[in-house]
Amino acid sequence: MRKSRRSPAVTSSLIVMGVSGCGKSTLGRSLAEALGRRFVEGDTLHPPANVAKMASGLPLDDADRWPFLGNVAAAINAASPAPLVITCSALKRSYRDFLRARAGEITFVLPMIDRPALEARLAARHGHFMPASLLDSQLATLEVPGPDERAIRVDGTASTPHQLAEVIARLPGAVGLPCRSSGA
């Protein structure tokens, strides 16, 4: 059997990015399982002060985000050479540039979802430190990845199996990719 040469997008870590409620964790877990990778929930990498600030209804600023982004990059580097799937809002281009500079080749995956759907999801979510009141701040901060960034955008309102299939199909070099997911 001929071994296919894989591009960095297949061998790099994946960061499922976006605002709160877009489905990062659900899609990230599914991608990790399908690709045979370890999954890291980025929310666990926030410094305690960040969690407390968000829980009190205050948005994070850049000064708050840099230590978190450093923790995300460190998690990717600690797993190397094995690529991970990790969640991280990565809302700004400068944040994504920071992550690429510190953790190397990364493919970003962004579930795109409109405000009413986000509001409904956040209203139904309980027990998370991020209150729905911070959605406006996150949407105002979000810079959708540009065409020069390695990023895959998917319909965040589609079923998880559909999103998973779309991401896997759009990973360059995905031919022969091990897929352990039964959903399509």
Q: What is the DSSP string of 132-158?
A: GGGHHHHHHH--PPPTTS-EEEEETTS
| Alpha-carbon dihedral 135, 150, 148, 46, rounded to 10 degrees | 40
Cα–Cα distance measured from residue 87 to residue 25, given in angstroms and rounded to the nearest whole number: 6
Residue 10: pLDDT over 60: no
Can you give the pLDDT at residue 1?
Answer: 35
| Helix pair 93-103, 62-79: axis angle to 10 deg | 30
Q: What is the pLDDT of residues 57-77, one digit of tens each?
A: 887 888 998 999 999 999 999
Residues whose CB is less than 8 angstroms from the CB of residue 44 and which lie 6 or more positions away in sequence, other chains included: none
Q: What is the pLDDT of residues 125-176, one digit of tens each?
A: 665 555 556 778 888 889 999 999 999 999 999 999 999 999 999 986 554 4
Cα–Cα distance measured from residue 32 to residue 15, given in angstroms and rounded to the nearest whole number: 11
Can you give the pLDDT at residue 127?
Answer: 59
Residue boundaries of the structural domains of the chain: 8-170
Can you give the pLDDT at residue 108?
Answer: 96
Q: What is the pLDDT of residues 89-137, one digit of tens each?
A: 999 999 999 999 999 989 999 999 988 988 888 776 665 555 556 778 8
Can you give the pLDDT at residue 86?
Answer: 96
Residues in the chain: 184
Residue 8: pLDDT over 90: no
Q: Are 75 and 67 in contact (CB under 8 A)?
A: no
Q: Are 7 and 172 in contact (CB under 8 A)?
A: yes
Helix (H, G, I), strand (E, B) or coil at 85: strand
Pick one of 3.40.50.2300, 1.20.1260.10, 3.40.50.300, 3.50.50.100 as the CATH number of 8-170.
3.40.50.300
Helix (H, G, I), strand (E, B) or coil at 111: strand
Q: Are 141 and 60 in contact (CB under 8 A)?
A: no
Can you give the pLDDT at residue 131?
Answer: 56
Residue 88: pLDDT over 90: yes
Residue 33: pLDDT over 60: yes
Q: What is the DSSP string of 40-68?
A: E-GGGGS-HHHHHHHHTTPPP-HHHHHHH
